[in-house]
Amino acid sequence: MTSYDINENWKVSHKKDLIKSNGSFVHLDYRMSGVGSRSCGGDDPQTECRINKGEKLDFTFTIIPTKS
């Protein structure tokens, strides 16, 4: 969760130049090989653990607001 729009990241040279938004943004990364998945050599993840190009991916998540 962040107060910065990811599209604004590409417009500034330094993160300190970002301007906080009034909204909140969630950035989700998917279809990545994480640390340990051949980052230091070795084998690719097992076939059943991969998300292949063109393969449909469905997922859900819930955001529960908390008091700050």
What local confidence, expressed as pLDDT, does residue 37 receive? 59
What local confidence, expressed as pLDDT, does residue 14 receive? 92
What local confidence, expressed as pLDDT, does residue 54 receive? 83
What local confidence, expressed as pLDDT, does residue 38 receive? 63
- 10 Å CB burial of residue 18 (0-12, 13-18, 19+) is middle
**Cα distance between residue 1 and residue 28, in whole Å:** 10
pLDDT along the chain (68 residues), means of 10: 86 91 84 64 75 82 83
